[in-house]
Amino acid sequence: DIQMTQSPSPLSASVGDRVIITCQASQDISTYLNWYQQKPGKAPKLLIYDASDLETGVPSRFGGSGSGTHFTFTITSLQPEDVATYYCQQYGNLPLTFGGGTKVEIK
Amino acid sequence: EVQLVESGGGLVRPGESLRLSCAASGFFFTDYWMSWVRQSPGKGLEWVANINLDGSAQNYVDSVKGRFIISRDNAKKSLYLQMNNLTPDDSAIYFCARSSDSQGGISAAHFDSWGQGARVSVSS
């Protein structure tokens, strides 16, 4: 199975800060990587697919990059409504696997 | 509007069975792979199983192989998860999710719509 390792967790930042989350795959997955946001008590929501493509309707302050084994997720200017846990997910191989999550809090 | 509504969760004893259902609306059900993803209390997300467009192919995570069966009824626009021989480790919220293809044509690459989840608790 492909292991996905996220860091940091948790992450505390101020409103307006640039936030970067990293996701490391245990083997090369090309750009087969997605990012989700999950707010407490809610279902996850797809933000980024194929490593860098923004899902329709998602604010442009969210972005993703990377390929191979190293990926980053960026919030360019953290907003109060961005408080959530963020997960990466690979689809390079079955089983589909998620990272352990990064909880983002406001300082 | 895409809607996925799960039902069938509950409290069962170890070794018992449970069947989850997911009613889909707002999209062409037969155009999409469908998946189940679970989340244990306070834990992360785990993909459980997916099924192709006509139900002829299924994939499972190893921990549920031989115990869980994913199926779909396209006429009823419904997805199912039959869970047998349940253990406490299966306790989780189970989400029904629509799976979409990647830009490069890989099937069931990402989960672009989710239900609200059904809670399953396994305890003696």
Do the Cβ atoms of B110 and A98 come within 8 Å?
Answer: no
Residue B82 near chain A (CB below 8 Å): no
B102 band by pLDDT with thresholds 50, 70 and 90: confident
CB B72 within 8 Å of CB B51: yes
Say whether pLDDT at B106 is over 90: no
Helix, strand, coil shares of chain B as percentages rounded to 5?
5, 50, 40
In angstroms, what separates the C-alpha of A6 from chain B's closest C-alpha? 12
Beta pairing class for A84-90 and A53-54: unpaired
* Beta-bridge partners for B5: B23
Closest CA to B16 of B94, B92, B84: B84
Instruction: Read off the tokens for A72.
Output: 């980053």
Which of B59, B111, B117 is the closest to A46 by Cβ? B111
Give the span between the Cα atoms of A34 and A29, in whole angstroms.
Answer: 11
User: Can you give the pLDDT at residue B28?
Assistant: 97
Give the span between the Cα atoms of A17 and A77, in whole angstroms.
Answer: 5
Do the Cβ atoms of A98 and B46 come within 8 Å?
Answer: yes
Residue B95 near chain A (CB below 8 Å): yes
Question: pLDDT tens digits for A25-77?
Answer: 999 999 999 999 999 999 999 999 999 999 999 999 999 999 999 999 999 99
B108 band by pLDDT with thresholds 50, 70 and 90: confident
Q: Which residues are CB-neighbours of B90 under 8 A, at least 6 positions away? A: B38, B64, B83, B120, B122
CA–CA distance from B90 to each of B65, B111, B122 (Å)?
Answer: 13, 21, 7
Question: pLDDT tens digits for B75-97?
Answer: 999 999 999 999 999 999 999 99
Instruction: Read off the tokens for B91.
Output: 């306790």
Q: What is the mean pLDDT of chain B?
A: 96
* Residue A97 with chain B: CB contacts under 8 Å: 47
Which of B110, B112, B113, B114 should one mutate to test binding to chain A, selecting the residue with the greatest count of A CBs within 10 A? B110
Give the span between the Cα atoms of A25 and A3, in whole angstroms.
Answer: 6
Instruction: Read off the tokens for B90.
Output: 């299966």
